[in-house]
Amino acid sequence: MTTKQSIVSSSLLWREPGKAPCDSHARIAFADGLITDVAVGGPAIRDGRLLMPALVNAHDHVRGLRHLAFGARDERFETWRAALYAHPRIDVYSNACLALGRMALAGIGTTLCVYSSIRVDRLIDDARAIARAAKDVGIRVGFVVPFRNRCTMALGDDQAVLALQSPEDRALIEKTWLYPWPSAETYIEIAREIGKLESDTFFVQYGPNSPHACSDELMEAIIAAAAADNRRIHMHFLESEPQRQWADAAFPNGILKHYDAMGLFSERFTGAHGIWLSQAECDFLASRGASIAVNTSSNLHLYSGLSPIDRYLRAGLKFAFGLDSFSLDDDEDMLRELRLSFYLHSVAHRPPGLTPASLFDAALKTGFWIVTNKHGYGAIEPGMPMDVLSLDYAAMTRDLIEGMIEPEDAMIARASSRYVRDLWVAGRQIVSDGKLVTIDLAAAEQDVLAQARAAGEQMRALKPAMARHQKTLRDFYDRGLHMSPQSRS
């Protein structure tokens, strides 16, 4: 079925961000979700807008309610994580609508959703709610089915960590934090049920939470099922220094060797963060065709370190960028996230550094691959998806003297989500003139906040126990217990 061809026009077109200069007076024709023709230099168009490919968020947890709202303040990742248990139970659909809607307003057309609920009994229903939110908001979502069956609280055996808590807190933690994990078979059945939700804009992946969180038996089941289903595997990988220390203690022959023997690393594998990878490990992962999701702002918020992008570049290891549910300013500003990453990893830092070409190649092309398992994105060309955003370039450059700066240089230095005006995903316009037109975002926010505040009393009651638990974890890591033989469960 062929639908009518539509046309979008603008003053400027950044057809291949970072690689080629902007064109003027552009017209993009599209039909059935794909770009059919791109014409530039025709009759003058002076709307002051710039069109470019929609952005990709290659690692995120799609949290409508922000971390600070439920008490997770910035601190070292390993203790910060514990604060996530204070997340109140709120409607999954509304929460996802809020997060995805905000992303759309920031020009993100495709995002990963690493779902992190530990309630396996509700997973299928939750995935259905998120798929519905993705469809209603209108952006592409790669849903990562969460798997874990050990080391819930720390880089160590759950019972050993539980024994470190005061007796008064043990019962509470057991009730709130710990959960009877299903068998590997049940987990795979659940993932396959969720896989039935797949569509042109909703993709399903396997998400072992991290190496320490999954037993070898579970990992083997995931790897076999992902290979049989040709699905991607997305896993947090060497995000923090304690994780590096745990891995070195747990796998004296090397963590990569251990999982490579199981067949984990392939072009369908993405490691999230990958901050503590050595050059040799980057070389190895590159040889397997694997990729990394870099989360610069998250790494800053959680004191995890800077991703060794110089090593990735040297190795030819593919990577993309994600917000991990918080940017520098705790919003969804993906354009600012790219700029921050570019500056932190440009030539001035450890060479080789990012160039505009390698930045956008990673962000768009590899990002889309990491989320959707599909190639063929990153430029505005016939045959590519009609996933395009427009920015108010005139407002962004209102103080600049005409003819003194190239548009792409202004974009690198200034582009941010506040200038995003329109967004099309698969040919459907979901943001128009700076407003989300698919759902009522204000209502979604009101709904989420009302539900969260209704749980406020319960959350505040939990706070002292949470603080004591975090202190126990701090002691646990300070004493190096994550490197003890007991941690190798």
Residues forming contacts to Zn ion in the complex (CB under 5 A) are 324
Cis peptide before 352 (omega within 30 of 0): yes
Q: How far is the CB of 272 from Zn ion (least distance, A)?
A: 5
Q: How far is the CB of 206 from Zn ion (least distance, A)?
A: 15
d(Cα 29, Cα 381) in Å, to the nearest integer? 10
Using the minimum distance from each CB to Zn ion, give the nearer residue, 58 or 423: 58
Q: How far is the CB of 407 from Zn ion (least distance, A)?
A: 34
Using the minimum distance from each CB to Zn ion, give the nearer residue, 110 or 358: 110
Using the minimum distance from each CB to Zn ion, give the nearer residue, 129 or 323: 323
CB 237 within 8 A of CB 265: no
First to last CA, the chain: 55
Sheet architecture: strand order including 435-436 = 34-39, 23-31, 6-13, 49-53, 388-392, 420-425, 428-432, 435-436
Q: Which residues contact 405 (CB under 8 A, 6 or more apart)?
A: 397
d(Cα 233, Cα 240) in Å, to the nearest integer? 20
Q: How far is the CB of 299 from Zn ion (least distance, A)?
A: 10
Specify the DSSP element, H or E, that contains 463: helix 456-478
d(Cα 173, Cα 158) in Å, to the nearest integer? 11
User: What are the helix (H) ranges across 345-401?
Assistant: 356-360, 367-372, 393-396
- The tokens describing 246, both together, are 């745990």
Using the minimum distance from each CB to Zn ion, give the nearer residue, 270 or 390: 270
Q: How far is the CB of 236 from Zn ion (least distance, A)?
A: 6
Beta strands per DSSP E along 306-379: 318-321
Q: How far is the CB of 322 from Zn ion (least distance, A)?
A: 8
Q: How far is the CB of 60 from Zn ion (least distance, A)?
A: 7
Identity at 197, one-letter amino acid code: L
Using the minimum distance from each CB to Zn ion, give the nearer residue, 324 or 331: 324
Query: Residues 265, 76, 117, CA angle at the centre, nearest 5°?
Result: 60
Q: Which of 240, 133, 120, 118 is nearest to 177 (CA)?
A: 118
CB 137 within 8 A of CB 439: yes
Using the minimum distance from each CB to Zn ion, give the nearer residue, 310 or 324: 324
Q: Which of 304, 220, 317, 249 is nearest to 278 (CA)?
A: 317
Q: How far is the CB of 388 from Zn ion (least distance, A)?
A: 27
Identity at 52, one-letter amino acid code: M
Using the minimum distance from each CB to Zn ion, give the nearer residue, 234 or 318: 234
Using the minimum distance from each CB to Zn ion, give the nearer residue, 157 or 324: 324
Q: How far is the CB of 114 from Zn ion (least distance, A)?
A: 5
Using the minimum distance from each CB to Zn ion, give the nearer residue, 370 or 415: 370
> Residue of minimal CB distance from Zn ion?
324
